[in-house]
Chains A and B, each alone.
Chain A
Amino acid sequence: MTSGRGYLWGVLLLLAVWQAGAWWAGGAVLAGPAEVAGKLASEARTERFWMHVGMSTLRVLAALAVSFAAAVPLGLLIGSSRRVDRLAGPLIYLTYPVPKIVLLPLVLLVFGLGEIGKIAMLAIILFFQLLITTRDAARGVSRSARYSLYSLGGTRWDLFVHVIWPSVLPGIFTALRIATGTVVAVLFFVESIGTRYGMGFYILDSWGRADIPQIYVGMVVLALLGAILYETFDIMERVFCRWSQL
C-alpha cells in the first residue's frame, strides 16, 4: 500500500505539473486544478452528477463480481487438473492475445446496448486476466505441498481449501489491481455508447458542449474510481494474505 506521505507528494507533484501545463497551454485547452476543483464542488451538489458516478461504479463492481465468479473457479479447475489444462490451454493461448476491446461491437450485438452488454464487455476484459493468473497460481502449487497435505490425511477438497485457494489468493489480488486500470479505460468506451449515464457519457457530453473544466472533472472522477479500487484490493490482500506481506 502506498504510504499517506507518498500519496501526498504524488498528488502535490501532479497538481504542480498540471498547473504549470494549464498556464503554458491556456485555459481554453487545459483547465487548471483550482478551476477543476471548483467545478467538481459545484457538480457534487447536483443529483445528476452522482447518478453518473453511481452508474459507472455499479457497472465496474458488477463486472468484477461476474468475472470473479466465472474466472476464478475455472482457473482453479484448469490449474488443478493436467487433463483439463491440456484441453483448455490451447484455447486460452489463442484467445488471450486478442485485444478484447475489438470485441466491443460483437459484445454489444450479442448482449445489446443496455446494461448487460456494457457489463459483459468489462467482465470479458477482467475475465482473462483473472483466469490466467488463477490458473498459473494453481499450477504452481508444489508437489511437496500436495504430498504434505495428503500425508496428513487430506482429501482433494482439503487440498483446495488448505493449499490451492490460499496460495492463489495473492495472485488474484495482483490480477485485480492490474485489471483496475484497464477496466476503467474500457468503461469510458462502453459508456460512450447507448447510455445517458456514466462518467464516459459525462466526459463526451462535456466535450460536445466544450465545457473544458467539466471534461477534467470526469477524468478526475475516473482516476479516483481506479485509485479507490486499487487501494481496496491492496487493503484486502493485506487483510486476507498477511503471510504474503512478510
Chain B
Amino acid sequence: MPTTSAALFSKALKLSLLLAAAVAVAGGGIGFLIYGTPGLYSALIGAAVAAVFGAMTILSISIGAKLPLGGFYGMVLGGWLIKLLLFAVLMGLLQSATFISGPMFFFAVVASVLGGLAVDSYLVLSAKLPAVEN
C-alpha cells in the first residue's frame, strides 16, 4: 500500500503497463478470432497507445512534482498537449491503414482507457497518504 505520492505514481505506472499487457493478450486473442490478423494488430496497437498515454500522464506529474510550480504546470499541460497531438496524428495515419480493423482498435482503446481508470481509482482509494509530506 503506497504511503507517499511518489510510491503511488511508481505503482500506478507498473499496474498500468500490466493492464495494457493484459488487454493486449486478451484483446489480441479476441480480435484474432473475430477479425483475423488485422484484429490482432488492432488490439496490440490500441493497448500500446493507451499504455503509452497513461504512462505519459504519470511521468509528467512525477517529473513535474520535482520542479517549481511553473515547471510543474508546463510539464503537466505540455505533456498533455504533446500527447493529444501525437494521438491525433496517429489516428490520421491509422485511418487509411488497411492492416487494422477499426472497431477492434476502438474497443481495445476503450477497454484500456476504462481499465486504466479502474486501476487508478483503486490505487488512489487504497493509498494511505499522509496529509503532509516532506
Do A and B share a complex? no
